[in-house]
Amino acid sequence: MTPSFATLPDLIVEPLVRAALLEDLGQSGDITTRAVIPAGTTYQARLNARDAGVVSGMQIARIAFHLVDPTLHIETQLQDGSPCTPGQTLMTISGSAASILSGERVALNFAGRMSGIASLTQSFVAETKGTQTRITCTRKTTPGLRMVEKQAVLHGGGYNHRYGLSDAILIKDNHIAAAGGIAAVLQAAKTNVSHMMKIEIEVDTLAQLEEVLASGGADVVLLDNMDTATLSEAVAMARGQVVTEASGNMRLDRIAEVAATGVDYISSGALTHSVQTLDLGLDF
């Protein structure tokens, strides 16, 4: 099943785009454009794909151009989440040439990176075909850009993991060590957590998984850095009791065999931390 996603409100996204524009324009604005483009010059520019992939970041590109100049006329040809081919026009921007040039780099930086994330996510999702396994992201995102990078994962057909430290319990190995063991840490979580909050716990071995299942209290178990044979056994042990998530060393070339184990989710930091920007260009 392909996940559905809603466009983030412009009000939430705008501060990120505004900060990027302020960084680029500095204290003097676009001095090159001001020096060489005659006042009143108008143009129509096309934001084109130069690679095949999945489009993401069109909302942000639109916001970037409109923050520079609200009078620009923008038409989005391909919506976020759509496939694109080389040479295909994603967006047209008409109006002041100076304004278009001043917003170009920020718009392309966001759209190129987000489209790269969406495209890589789609490649991961394709490897799960024929299974019920879902691809999900992690917190290994660019500082300050987590919101839009996680949105790009949705555009690629993936799912979002917890947003940050405040919206779900995820007990890692260091938590277990500091809290005095699996039974103790799960008991503490059950005692202190809201009834609205999910609890996930990481295990590295089948023995740890057995203890988690015996202790109870976990909603999700993260099967970390297991080889495929061990992972298959772990999924069979946990089936019907907790949601399973495979993580650690989840490369694209391994996703199909991991999905074949029947695991519910595969999480990969590579979706956001090792992505290649999709080549996009603004053509006059």
CA distances from 94 to 32, 66, 75, 142 (A): 20, 11, 9, 31
Is 105 marked active-site? Answer: yes
Out of 18, 46, 140, 198, the active site residue is 140
Is 129 marked active-site? Answer: no
Out of 30, 149, 200, 224, the active site residue is 224
Out of 80, 104, 127, 202, the active site residue is 202
Is 140 marked active-site? Answer: yes
Is 211 marked active-site? Answer: no
Query: Which amino acid, 119?
Result: S
DSSP class of residue 269 equals T
Sign of CA dihedral 199, 203, 209, 212: negative
Sequence-separated (6 or more) residues with CB below 8 Å from residue 24: 105, 106
CA dist 77 and 111 (Å) reads 14
State phi, psi for 277 to the nearest 5 degrees. -60, 135
Is 190 marked active-site? Answer: no
Residue identified by tokens 């934001």 is: 47
| Token digits of residue 182 | 């699996």
Out of 139, 146, 162, 172, the active site residue is 172
CA dist 154 and 208 (Å) reads 32
Out of 18, 46, 105, 162, the active site residue is 105
Residues designated catalytic: 105, 140, 172, 202, 224
